C-alpha cells in the first residue's frame, strides 16, 4: 500500500504542519540553513569566477538564500521554498562547475569564440565521444555537484518556520543588527537586478543568452552561400595565372590532432610511422619532412580558417585558397571523414565535388579514415579535367583515440617500453599512459591511411605529369607530453606541434638544412600556391617555406615556446 500523502509531508519537513516550534531552535536552524546554503553556493561561485565577479554573483544569489531566514507559517509554503531555493542554488552551482571545468581545461570562458564555436559545431555523436573521453572530469564535477545538491537540499529544508508559541510577530523577530544587514544586502541585490550588465551574470539569463548565441552562430553557418559567392567573385577578379602547362594534380591532406612528437618519422620512440618512413627512404629529395612545424591555433575551426585564408586576419578580406585554385582552372574535390557543419559551409562547399564520407547513412558511427581511400581513388580516375586539387580531411587522432584505429590493432599496450617508462618517470597517471598507447595506435593506423594517399598520388597519371602532395595537421594534442592530461591543449606547446610533409615529383624540395627551418601552418596557403604553380598579385615569397626567399617569423601563440626550432 502507498504511504498516505500527509505522512510523506511530515517526513519531508522538519516540523509537522502547524505544530509549535521552539523559538530559539527554529532561529538557530534557520541561521544554519542560510549559512550552509550560502557557503556552498559561494564556494561553487568562487570556483568558476574570479575577482569582482564572485561578489557580483554572490549578491545575485543572496535574496533566495536570505529567504530561508524569513519565517513561514504554512508548511506548504516552506516546502515550496525548499524546492525553489534548491533549484536556484543548483543553477548557480552548475554555472560555477561548468565555468571551472572550461577554465581548468581550456583556459576559456563559455562565451569565448572557441567554446561557442565548438558547441555550435558539435553534433550529438561528437558530444558523446567527448564525454566518453573526458568522463573522469565529468565524474569529478558531477560528484561535486551532487555533494552540493545534497547539502543544499538538507539545509534548505531547515529554513525559518513561524514561531507559533509566541503570538506576536515582534517576539520572533531577529535582533536589530541582523535585520539591518539583511536589509542592506537586499538593497544591493535590488541594485544588481536593476543593472543590466550585472543582471546578465545571473546563470539563468547568461545561459539563455549563451544558447541563443550558439543558435545564431549555427544559423549564420547554415547558409554561407553568399559568402562563398563573394569569395569566388573575388578570386576571379584576382585572376591567378597557372604557370604549369599540362596536367597537374595536387593533393592536400589535412589531418586532425596529430602531434609530430608521436611520429617515428620525427624521431619518436615507438614505431608509429613505418610506411611514411619507407616512402621517405624511397622518395629521397622529392619528399621533405618539415621538422619544426607549428600550428598557431589549438582547435580546428580557426586552424582551417588560417590555412585557407593565408593566415591573414578577417579584416584584410583575404581570398580563399580553394576559390583561387578554381578561378585558375583547377577542379577541386573535398573528401572528408568529418561531419562538421562549419567546415563544410566555410570551406568544403567551395569545391566542385564534396564528399562527406562520414555522413553516409548506415555507416558505423565512428568511421575510420581508411573509408575515404576509395573516394580519393575516384577523384584520381576522373578524366573530365587535367588540373586537380584534391583536399582530404581526415579525423586523424581526434579524441576519442580508441575510435581512430581498428579494434584489436593496438600493439603498444602489450609490454612496457621506453616510452611507457619515461611517462612513469614523469609521474603521468595510469589513465594518461593508457591514452598515450591508444593515441600511438591511432597514429600507426593513420600512418597507413596517409601513406596510401601518398602512394595513390605517386602512382597516379602518367609518369611525366606534374603531381604534388602536402600533409599537415590542424593542431597538435597533449597526451601526457607536458602535463598529466589528454586532449586539445591551448595552454601547452603540445597543442601546437604538428607534422608537415611535402612531396612533389618535379623540382627537388628544400634540402636537409632548409627542412629544419620552422614552418607555421597558417602560412600553408603560400606553400600550396607554389605547389599549385599559381601566380597572383598577392604573393608573399617570404612566407613560402619551399622558396629561397622564405623568412621565418615567430607566431604569437598563447604559450611560451622556448624555441620554434625544436
**Interface residues with Zn ion (CB under 5 A)?**
256, 300, 474
In the complex, the smallest distance separating the C-beta of residue 396 from Zn ion, rounded to whole angstroms, is 8
Residue 407 backbone phi and psi in degrees, to 5: -55, 145
Contact present, 246 and 386 (Cβ < 8 Å): yes
Q: Between vectors from CA 65 to CA 59 and to CA 71, what angle results, nearest 5°? A: 135
Identity of the residue, 95 or 340, whose beta carbon is nearer to Zn ion in the bound complex = 340
Describe the crossing of helices 75-106 and 113-120 by its angle, rounded to 10 degrees.
110
Residue 374 backbone phi and psi in degrees, to 5: -65, -40
- Greatest Cα-to-Cα distance within the chain, rounded to the nearest angstrom: 104
Identity of the residue, 330 or 405, whose beta carbon is nearer to Zn ion in the bound complex = 405
Least Cα distance to 346 among 222, 245, 253 occurs for 222
In the complex, the smallest distance separating the C-beta of residue 294 from Zn ion, rounded to whole angstroms, is 15
Identity of the residue, 338 or 504, whose beta carbon is nearer to Zn ion in the bound complex = 338
In the complex, the smallest distance separating the C-beta of residue 517 from Zn ion, rounded to whole angstroms, is 25
Identity of the residue, 91 or 399, whose beta carbon is nearer to Zn ion in the bound complex = 399
**Helix residue spans in 195-224 (DSSP H):** 196-199, 203-222
In the complex, the smallest distance separating the C-beta of residue 298 from Zn ion, rounded to whole angstroms, is 9
> C-alpha distances in angstroms, 514 versus 511, 518, 540?
5, 9, 18
**What is the Cα–Cα distance from 470 to 500, expressed in whole angstroms?**
7
Least Cα distance to 94 among 209, 206, 213, 212 occurs for 206
Least Cα distance to 120 among 307, 389, 310, 341 occurs for 341
Measured from each CB, the residue nearest to Zn ion is: 300
In the complex, the smallest distance separating the C-beta of residue 105 from Zn ion, rounded to whole angstroms, is 15
How many CA atoms lie less than 13 Å away from 464 in the CB half-sphere? 2
Block residue for cell numbers 600553408: 524
Identity of the residue, 43 or 102, whose beta carbon is nearer to Zn ion in the bound complex = 102
Identity of the residue, 89 or 521, whose beta carbon is nearer to Zn ion in the bound complex = 521
Q: Which residues of 516-538 are buried (b: 16+ CB within 10 A; e: fewer)?
A: ebbbbbbbbbbbbbbbbbbeeee
Identity of the residue, 224 or 300, whose beta carbon is nearer to Zn ion in the bound complex = 300
Please give the DSSP secondary-structure letter assigned to residue 311: T
In the complex, the smallest distance separating the C-beta of residue 342 from Zn ion, rounded to whole angstroms, is 12
The x, y and z cell numbers of residue 161, run together, are: 518556520
Identity of the residue, 303 or 545, whose beta carbon is nearer to Zn ion in the bound complex = 303
Identity of the residue, 129 or 474, whose beta carbon is nearer to Zn ion in the bound complex = 474
Contact present, 332 and 326 (Cβ < 8 Å): yes
In the complex, the smallest distance separating the C-beta of residue 300 from Zn ion, rounded to whole angstroms, is 3
Identity of the residue, 48 or 311, whose beta carbon is nearer to Zn ion in the bound complex = 311
The x, y and z cell numbers of residue 431, run together, are: 589513465
What SS3 class is residue 463? Answer: coil
Count how many residues are written for the chain: 566
In the complex, the smallest distance separating the C-beta of residue 257 from Zn ion, rounded to whole angstroms, is 5
Identity of the residue, 351 or 395, whose beta carbon is nearer to Zn ion in the bound complex = 395
In the complex, the smallest distance separating the C-beta of residue 37 from Zn ion, rounded to whole angstroms, is 42
In the complex, the smallest distance separating the C-beta of residue 333 from Zn ion, rounded to whole angstroms, is 21
Least Cα distance to 481 among 411, 418, 432 occurs for 432
Contact present, 218 and 210 (Cβ < 8 Å): no
DSSP string, 95-107: HHHHHHHHHHHHS
Identity of the residue, 300 or 336, whose beta carbon is nearer to Zn ion in the bound complex = 300
In the complex, the smallest distance separating the C-beta of residue 61 from Zn ion, rounded to whole angstroms, is 37
In the complex, the smallest distance separating the C-beta of residue 256 from Zn ion, rounded to whole angstroms, is 4
Q: Between vectors from CA 65 to CA 48 and to CA 168, what angle results, nearest 5°? A: 170
DSSP string, 397-455: TPSSGGGSS-TT--GGGSS--HHHHHHHHTT--HHHHHHHHHHHHHHHHHHHHHHHHHH
Identity of the residue, 65 or 133, whose beta carbon is nearer to Zn ion in the bound complex = 133
CA 164 to chain centre: 57
In the complex, the smallest distance separating the C-beta of residue 474 from Zn ion, rounded to whole angstroms, is 4
Amino acid at each position: 500500500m502507498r504511504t498516505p500523502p500527509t505522512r510523506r509531508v511530515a517526513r519531508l519537513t522538519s516540523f509537522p504542519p502547524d505544530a509549535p516550534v521552539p523559538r530559539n531552535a527554529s532561529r538557530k536552524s534557520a541561521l544554519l540553513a542560510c549559512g550552509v546554503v550560502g557557503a556552498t553556493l559561494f564556494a561553487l561561485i568562487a570556483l568558476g569566477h574570479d575577482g569582482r565577479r564572485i561578489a557580483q554573483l554572490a549578491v545575485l544569489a543572496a535574496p533566495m538564500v536570505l529567504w530561508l531566514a524569513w519565517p513561514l507559517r504554512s508548511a506548504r509554503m516552506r516546502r515550496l521554498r525548499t524546492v525553489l531555493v534548491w533549484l536556484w542554488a543548483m543553477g548557480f552551482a552548475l554555472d560555477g562547475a561548468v565555468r571551472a571545468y572550461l577554465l581548468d581545461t581550456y583556459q576559456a570562458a563559455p562565451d569565448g569564440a572557441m567554446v561557442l564555436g565548438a558547441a555550435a559545431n558539435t553534433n550529438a555523436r561528437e558530444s558523446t565521444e567527448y564525454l566518453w573521453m573526458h568522463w573522469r572530469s565529468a565524474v569529478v564535477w558531477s560528484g561535486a555537484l551532487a555533494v552540493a545538491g545534497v547539502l543544499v537540499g538538507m539545509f534548505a529544508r531547515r529554513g525559518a518556520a513561524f514561531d507559533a508559541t509566541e503570538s506576536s510577530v515582534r517576539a520572533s523577530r531577529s535582533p536589530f543588527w541582523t535585520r539591518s544587514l539583511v536589509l542592506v544586502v537586499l538593497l544591493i541585490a535590488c541594485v544588481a537586478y536593476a543593472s543590466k550588465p550585472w543582471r546578465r551574470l545571473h546563470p539563468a539569463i547568461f545561459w539563455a543568452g549563451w544558447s541563443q548565441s550558439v543558435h545564431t552562430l549555427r544559423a549564420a553557418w547554415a547558409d554561407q552561400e553568399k559568402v562563398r559567392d563573394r569569395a569566388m567573385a573575388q578570386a576571379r577578379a584576382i585572376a591567378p595565372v597557372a604557370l604549369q602547362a599540362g596536367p597537374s594534380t595536387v593533393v592536400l591532406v589535412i589531418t586532425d590532432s596529430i602531434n609530430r612528437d608521436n611520429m617515428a618519422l620525427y624521431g619518436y620512440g615507438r614505431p608509429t610511422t613505418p610506411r611514411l618512413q619507407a616512402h621517405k627512404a624511397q622518395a629521397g629529395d622529392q619528399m621533405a619532412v618539415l621538422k619544426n612545424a607549428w600550428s598557431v591555433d589549438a582547435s580546428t575551426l580557426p586552424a582551417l580558417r588560417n590555412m585557407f585564408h593565408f593566415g591573414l586576419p578577417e579584416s584584410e578580406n583575404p581570398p580563399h585558397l580553394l576559390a583561387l585554385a578554381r578561378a585558375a582552372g583547377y577542379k577541386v574535390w573535398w573528401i572528408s571523414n568529418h561531419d562538421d557543419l562549419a567546415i563544410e559551409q566555410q570551406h568544403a562547399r567551395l569545391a566542385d565535388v564534396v564528399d562527406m564520407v562520414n555522413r553516409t547513412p548506415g555507416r558505423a558511427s565512428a568511421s575510420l579514415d581508411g573509408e575515404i581511400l576509395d573516394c580519393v581513388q575516384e577523384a584520381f580516375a576522373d578524366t573530365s579535367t587535367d588540373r586537380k586539387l584534391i583536399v582530404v580531411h581526415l579525423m586523424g587522432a581526434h579524441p576519442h583515440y580508441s575510435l581512430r584505429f581498428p579494434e584489436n590493432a593496438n600493439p603498444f599496450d602489450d609490454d612496457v617500453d621506453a616510452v611507457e617508462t619515461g611517462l612513469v618517470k614523469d609521474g603521468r597517471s595510469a589513465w594518461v599512459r593508457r591514452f598515450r598507447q591508444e593515441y600511438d595506435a591511432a597514429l600507426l593506423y593513420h600512418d597507413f591511411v596517409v601513406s596510401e594517399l601518398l602512394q595513390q598520388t605517386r602512382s597516379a597519371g602518367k609518369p611525366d605529369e606534374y603531381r604534388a602532395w602536402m600533409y599537415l595537421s590542424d593542431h597538435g594534442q597533449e597526451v601526457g607530453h607536458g602535463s598529466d592530461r589528454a586532449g586539445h591543449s591551448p595552454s601547452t606547446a603540445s597543442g601546437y606541434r604538428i607534422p608537415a610533409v611535402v612531396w612533389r615529383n618535379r623540382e627537388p624540395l628544400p634540402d636537409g638544412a632548409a627542412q629544419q627551418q620552422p614552418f607555421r601552418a597558417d602560412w600553408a596557403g603560400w606553400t600550396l600556391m607554389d605547389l599549385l604553380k599559381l601566380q597572383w598579385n598577392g604573393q608573399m615569397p617570404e612566407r613560402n617555406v619551399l622558396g629561397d626567399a622564405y623568412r621565418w617569423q615567430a607566431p604569437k601563440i598563447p604559450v611560451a615556446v622556448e624555441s620554434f626550432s625544436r
